[in-house]
Amino acid sequence: MAKRVFLIVLDSMGIGAMPDASNWGDQGSNTLGAIRVHPDFNCPNLEKMGLFNIDGIGEKSVSPRTCYARMTEASKGKDTTIGHWEIAGIYSPRPLPTYPDGFPQEIIDAFEKLTGRGTLCNRPYSGTEVIKDFGEEHLRTGKLIVYTSADSVFQIAAHEELVPVETLYKYCEQARELLQGEHGVGRIIARPFNGEYPFTRTPRRHDYSLTPPSATVPDILKEAGFDVISVGKIFDIFAGKGFTESHPTVNNGDGMDKTMAIVKRDFNGLCFVNLVDFDMVYGHRNDVAGYARAMTEFDKRLGEFLEEMREEDLLIITADHGCDPVTPSTDHSREYTPMIAYGKALKENVNLGTRDSFADIGATVLEWFGLPSDKIYGKSFLKEISK
């Protein structure tokens, strides 16, 4: 009989500052705490599934039909790449490089030589503000807008009428080849935009990640002959390694539409989903109301999804880091993340406490499929949740 796992990452849904958050400037951060008090936040399905019973939230007002835990990030980071890699079994002892003062001139010079174009900005910047402030000069001079953030990213923005998207992607591929080793940032990100001032970013963003340094859950599953399906930017985060098919998305709604189509299909393996709007559209823009509404909409779609699950399915909902929208910062925050596991073959109302690593999720997925987890970091909790 086919077995299926749906692993859904609510990008940036942190649930409270980790003990070392002050080392990252994130003391007091709590993404869920910030949005749940908004009047537009209404998540009855997640409540029934134990979200608020997790350690540190501690509201045991219901007896959830799930197993749940508070996940600790063992790796030294708070970014998308390291967070997802750890979920899939990789421990990262060092944070990926960041550039609070912009990239070194030798990197910029080398990039300009590769592309034949000059550059603008070269410093941390909001993605919406950078095109507003540099878009007109970009159109006038043909120079590419290069910027970063508190995360390990090298972002390239260009107007689609001046730089066709395929050309922008080529520039990103060249940057990916350049930025390795000491300057191996987690992601090169294409940020196309269009229109007139103040300009609008288009949905044709594309991420070029570092290749994972060791085996991941997708690698092991694919090698064992299982289907490994990416929805959203998961494929990009793992540089395509370990996947049998990929379904890019333009927003959360599209991500859930594609996930709903997949849950109605026959396959044998993992469907790994990232819902990016929580982070990209709301967290980074400190949009509390938008974040609350997005969670409410996900909760509605979750109810639809649960109705389609089969007897042998496993659903795991988690996150990769925080992005508290009420702090002065617009960047990621070093937070615990939630883990909710549901399946008809699982026990109900099992509190797994606070786990030592996101990688426990990956180890559990492998054990679900009868595969050893000795090649990855993390400890399976399958025996604790199985009937």
pLDDT in tens, 291-323: 999 999 999 999 999 999 999 999 999 999 999
Residue 133: pLDDT over 90: yes
pLDDT at 63: 84
Q: Can you give the pLDDT at residue 20?
A: 97
User: The domain 105-209 is classified under which CATH number: 3.40.640.10, 3.30.70.1250, 1.10.10.60, 2.30.38.10?
Assistant: 3.30.70.1250
**What average pLDDT does the chain have?**
95
Please tell me the predicted confidence (pLDDT) of residue 2.
66
CA atoms of 71 and 316, how far apart (whole Å): 12
Angle between helices 165-178 and 105-115 (to 10 degrees): 140
- Can you tell me whether residue 154 is helix, strand or coil? strand
Q: What is the distance between the alpha carbons of residues 146 and 72, in angstroms, rounded to a whole number?
A: 33
- In this prediction, residues 329-333 reach a mean pLDDT of 91
pLDDT digits (tens, 9 = 90+) for 224-233: 999 999 999 9
**8 A C-beta contact, residue 379 and residue 61:** no
Quick: pLDDT tens for 77-130.
Answer: 999 999 999 999 999 999 899 999 999 999 999 999 999 999 999 999 989 999
The pLDDT > 70 percentage for the chain reads 99
Residue 324 has pLDDT above 70, yes or no: yes
Q: Quote the pLDDT of residue 333.
A: 96
How far apart CA 131 and CA 193 sit, in angstroms, is: 8
CA 360 – CA 39 distance, rounded (Å)? 34
pLDDT digits (tens, 9 = 90+) for 254-269: 999 999 999 999 999 9
Cβ atoms of residues 149 and 155 within 8 Å: yes
Domain 4-93+212-385 part of CATH 3.40.720.10: yes
**Over the stretch 179-203, which tens digit does the pLDDT of each residue have?**
999 999 999 999 999 999 999 999 8
Report DSSP letters for 55-77, one per residue: TTT----S--SSEEEEEP--SS-
**Structure confidence at residue 50 (pLDDT):** 94
- Domain residue ranges of the chain, discontinuous segments joined by +: 4-93+212-385, 105-209
pLDDT at position 150, please? 80
Nearest-angstrom CA–CA distance, 97 and 364: 30
pLDDT greater than 70 at residue 289: yes
For residues 188 and 179, give the distance between their C-alpha atoms in angstroms, rounded to a whole number: 9
* Residue 61: pLDDT over 90: no
Question: pLDDT class for 1, splitting at 50, 70, 90?
Answer: low
Question: What's the sign of the alpha-carbon dihedral 289, 78, 20, 66?
Answer: positive
**What is the reported pLDDT for 271?**
98
